[in-house]
Structure 1
Amino acid sequence: MAPSGGAYHRHRAAAPPSRLRRGLARGLMALVSVGAVLMTGAGYYVAHGALGGITVSDALSPEDPRSSGDNMNILLIGLDSRKDQDGNDLPWSILKHLHAGDSDDGGYNTNTLILVHIGADNKVVAFSIPRDDWVAFSGVPGYNHIKIKEAYGLTKQYVANKLANQGTYSQKELETKGREAGRAATLRAVRSLTGVPIDYFAEVNLAGFYDLAQSLGGVDVCLNHAVYDSYSGADFPAGRQRLDASQALSFVRQRHGLENGDLDRTHRQQAFISSVMQELQASGTFTNIDKLKSLMAVARKDVVLSSGWDEELIQRLGTLFSSGNVEFRTLPVVRYDNIDGQDVNIIDPAAIKAEVAEAIGAPQASTTAATTAAKPNPSTVVDVINAGSMSGLATEVSRALKKRGYTAGQVRDRNSGEPTATTIAYGAGAETDARNVATLLGLDAPKQPNAAVQPGHIRVTVDTNFSMPVQDDTTMDDTTTSKSNTYYYNGAATTYPTPDQGKPIDGGGVPCVN
């Protein structure tokens, strides 16, 4: 256990039929964590075909893997950003309530990642992914391991800078394309870590969380111990209490002085969601048309949705979550460590995949791109087509495949009539190599030859959101070092606390947390 008074902390890395039923359905979306309940209002607009300003993302492409049958996985993303959807700074009238620094702080880290699984049997399990989990990563030169929270921001910056150098895009276009690439990178990172597909996602920023809590008139929480943290503004006694919007943000953002580091923060996010769900069920918020309109207005500016949200989905979620029958879990951490000056969570990817598979009752199947023992046929030619706006991407992919032993063919931009999204196709006689290339690139393998592709050829098409997946043989750079699992407090050396995953939290009350 860490000493009190903020001794232990994590370093920030650089950078339906009835109105009631419809209301409960929307209330369900509280699972977006830090404010994702705002998804509820978004759900109304999506279900009625009038998005009314809701940002809809295409980062989750039709070619990405999907769940089978009636199973469903939804990724909920809490973005630690002080900027709006166009990249403009949030006004000081909002920032002053957030205890979150100015618009230069936070960057585009995804400080909340929750994967919600809804089974065909209506079993609901929500997995919190600690933001400092040290994961394999590719797609941005100079990085092969990062904290999972950084996948969004690093990719966003890299793509935006690369496009800016071409000199043909406005600042707003650079922001939009960069964020889309960041979302796609986050989706890949979570799929790789958990071994399961993602069918939908929702993203909300800090302002969205604050607006949500304010619209509810505060949130009930319960603390095991009194806390004080000048960084987040958290200053609360032990026990159950009601927090206003600014305090609620401090409650879920506190990361200094917590007994169990990064994992305690995930437990707070889970407790917040559980409390909000109870609040929405008890208060009748969505039966009041004025409150409902207010919530919708918040959703328009604070939420991003993947395509595909519709009334049937909202109804299903409403039926499930109104019962409060949700289990929250925190994915396991092996130990805390410090690598190149960054406090990180060392994880066991195989153990994480096994826990997710066990909890959802599914066979283990990783979506991580894996190397294959089969040797490429030297007569098979791989053509790579750039369908996106980032120059050099097709060349990068072609070179990577050549290193794997594949014969490089054409490398060019797409022609009219060719695919516009990342996909793979093959001509007669290239089926085996096409499947292996698809595995290496993390793409769905084509099921039959394409007459438009020459015999013996494979056509790989990549768009702006694509980046080469990490391969199984990826290791840390020689310059990356893991330091002693110690830190210093009042002149004395001590160790990080032992990670405590904690017991699963159900979604039916206000649990007490650290």
Structure 2
Amino acid sequence: MAVTSVAVLLGTGYAYANFQALIDNISTTDVIGLEGGGEKPADGSVDILMVGMDSRTDAKGNPLPREILDELQAGDETAGGLNTDTLILMHVPNDGGKAVAVSFPRDSYVKIAGGYGRHKINSAYGYGKESAIERLKREGESDPAQLDVKSRKDGAKNLIATIQDLTGVTVDHYAEINLVGFYEITKAVGGVDVCLNQATQDEFSGADFAAGPQKIQGREALAFVRQRYGLLRGDLDRIVRQQVFMAGLAKQVLSAGTLSDPGKLNDLIDALSKSIVLDEGWDVLRFATQMKDLTGGNLKFETIPTGDPELQTPEDGLAVEVNERDVKKFFKNLGSDPTAVGSSTAPTVDPGTVTVEVRNASGIGGLAGRVLRSLVAEGYVGGGSGNATEEVLSSVVRHGTGGEAGAAAVADFLGGIDVEEDPEVPAGQALVLLGDDYDGPGVQGLTGGPLVGLDGARRQPPDTTTPEQPITADGVRCVN
């Protein structure tokens, strides 16, 4: 949002000087590998991971003053600091099409990169950061500010790896903002217009809002985007709050009253330089000029597909259920034309040349046989069915050397599940392993209700309610 808005004024020397001052003073970190960071990535889009950090330190690793913590109602210096309260993947097509900002609920229950198992996604940064602190201490680092700054690099890398594993998307750039930065940015622009469907109060976040349209900034703005208790859908409603607020913030910054006011522009740049961390080597000036048309209806907000919002987990309490296969499919189709004919990417394969074996790890009795019968009816050769002898976290089709095309065709027929190579699978065969995330052919009518996984969690039926009004940066939408 910041680089886009400043790009509007790049034609003036004053704006350019201010923009360069921001770039010179902003903190950077080397967290993007060789695959990311390209000007026009080969996968067709620039994907930027934007992180809102619940941190009690600034971008330089210094603790926030007590008076600021009190104003933010953010607890003491030892609270928080390791969790990512806001996660958004900004998807910007190379061809200049509409950009999409995709939110991840902070309590999404996913596989954390680095071998930490399954936990809430907002802990991925913390796991990487804590491991780095232990390593740095062993290496002799003792300065608290240096420990904080250096360990953040590992935290960000672990978060990026988790997002990439979940989505199948290569993260090209990284941007991080802390609590105090968000607070000061909203004050610098003179507040943001929002609208609430009903009045609400929450002692944890400090929220105390009337119903209807209103302009908020500073402490009120932070409470608006942090509140989740007392909201109808908890964390999911908080995501909607964050999306409409960012849309309003973009609109406010792009207004002439902000960008043409030297005082406001200086305050905005000062706030950004103290609170933003970007990936090292990102040519933000070039990116800003490319993004100058990304305003209003050219930017929309989405949220990853989710299941049960009150999933009981072994270690993390209640979490938001996430089906990794659904998330990968969501990002694969992001920006594509759903009405296009022949959009399937599966290669053309004669089903009669592929023998399929199906193994069941879903906990749903009889599912493997039902799925195999569906495949045989499609023309594939039946290779037997039964229960799996290994734990399966998500459904997958495995193939041997040279069997990619056949496995891809089987996976496409089964709803687009993952495909992976396994040298133990004979040539000309495909092995289907059904996890508790499977909802393709063969499931319909089998259980008569929500699916039950191996962990006892009940998967919710698809939401068939009327879609909500889309969130864009060209208007103010009332929300819970």
Scaled by the length of structure 1, the TM-score of the pair is 0.63
- Secondary structure at the aligned position of 1:278 is classed as helix
- Secondary structure at the aligned position of 1:512 is classed as coil
Describe the superposition over 1:3-49 as per-residue Cα deviations: whole angstroms up to 9, x where unpaired. Answer: xxxxxxxxxxxxxxxxx99635489xxxxxxxxxxxxxxx9689648
Query: Is residue 156 of structure 1 aligned with residue 129 of structure 2?
Result: yes
- Residue 278 of structure 2 is matched in structure 1 by 305
Q: Measure the CA separation in 2 of the matches of 1:293 and 1:60.
A: 30
- Residue 384 of structure 2 is matched in structure 1 by none
Which among 77, 81, 94 is matched to residue 107 of structure 1?
81
Q: Measure the CA separation in 2 of the matches of 1:499 and 1:242.
A: 34
Q: Measure the CA separation in 2 of the matches of 1:275 and 1:46.
A: 23
- Is this contact kept in 1: 2:18–2:269, CA < 8 A? no
Q: Measure the CA separation in 1 of the matches of 2:344 and 2:107.
A: 24
Which among 125, 132, 156 is matched to residue 107 of structure 2?
132
Query: Is residue 58 of structure 1 aligned with residue 30 of structure 2?
Result: yes
Q: Measure the CA separation in 1 of the matches of 2:174 and 2:228.
A: 25
What letter is aligned with 2:250?
M
Q: Measure the CA separation in 2 of the matches of 1:168 and 1:22.
A: 40
- Residue 478 of structure 2 is matched in structure 1 by 512
Query: Is residue 72 of structure 1 aligned with residue 55 of structure 2?
Result: no
Which among 339, 342, 347 is matched to residue 322 of structure 2?
347
- Is this contact kept in 2: 1:330–1:502, CA < 8 A? no
Which among 343, 358, 376 is matched to residue 333 of structure 2?
358
CA RMSD of aligned residues (A): 3.4
- Is this contact kept in 1: 2:189–2:268, CA < 8 A? no
- Secondary structure at the aligned position of 2:177 is classed as strand
What letter is aligned with 1:194?
T
- Is this contact kept in 2: 1:277–1:507, CA < 8 A? yes
Measured after TM superposition, the shift of residue 361 of structure 1 is 2.5
Measured after TM superposition, the shift of residue 177 of structure 1 is 2.1
Describe the superposition over 1:289-344 as per-residue Cα deviations: whole angstroms up to 9, x where unpaired. Answer: 222122111111100011213322111222222x4421100111111212135221
What letter is aligned with 2:26?
I
- Secondary structure at the aligned position of 1:183 is classed as helix
Query: Is residue 23 of structure 1 aligned with residue 20 of structure 2?
Result: no
- Residue 425 of structure 2 is matched in structure 1 by none
Q: Measure the CA separation in 2 of the matches of 1:81 and 1:173.
A: 15
Q: Measure the CA separation in 1 of the matches of 2:251 and 2:141.
A: 49
CA, structure 1 residues 199+138, in 2 after alignment: closer, same or farther (shift >3 Å)?
closer
Measured after TM superposition, the shift of residue 156 of structure 1 is 0.3
Gaps of 5+ in 2: 338-342, 346-400, 402-432, 437-453
Query: Is residue 230 of structure 1 aligned with residue 196 of structure 2?
Result: no
- Is this contact kept in 1: 2:301–2:472, CA < 8 A? yes
Q: Measure the CA separation in 1 of the matches of 2:65 and 2:9.
A: 28
- Residue 416 of structure 1 is matched in structure 2 by none
State how 1:163-242 maps to structure 2 within 5 Å.
163-168=136-141, 170-242=143-215
What letter is aligned with 2:6?
G
- Secondary structure at the aligned position of 1:56 is classed as strand
Describe the superposition over 1:378-404 as per-residue Cα deviations: whole angstroms up to 9, x where unpaired. Answer: xxxxxxxxxxxxxxxxxxxxxxxxxxx
What letter is aligned with 1:243?
I
- Is this contact kept in 2: 1:24–1:318, CA < 8 A? yes
- Secondary structure at the aligned position of 2:74 is classed as coil
- Is this contact kept in 2: 1:109–1:149, CA < 8 A? yes
CA, structure 1 residues 344+145, in 2 after alignment: closer, same or farther (shift >3 Å)?
same
Measured after TM superposition, the shift of residue 160 of structure 1 is 0.9
Q: Measure the CA separation in 2 of the matches of 1:117 and 1:243.
A: 28
What letter is aligned with 2:34?
P
Q: Measure the CA separation in 2 of the matches of 1:168 and 1:102.
A: 24
Report sequence identity in percent. 35
- Is this contact kept in 1: 2:6–2:288, CA < 8 A? no
CA, structure 1 residues 124+138, in 2 after alignment: closer, same or farther (shift >3 Å)?
closer
- Residue 413 of structure 1 is matched in structure 2 by none
Measured after TM superposition, the shift of residue 473 of structure 1 is 12
Q: Which has the higher contact order (CA 8 A, sep 6+)?
A: 1
- Secondary structure at the aligned position of 1:75 is classed as strand
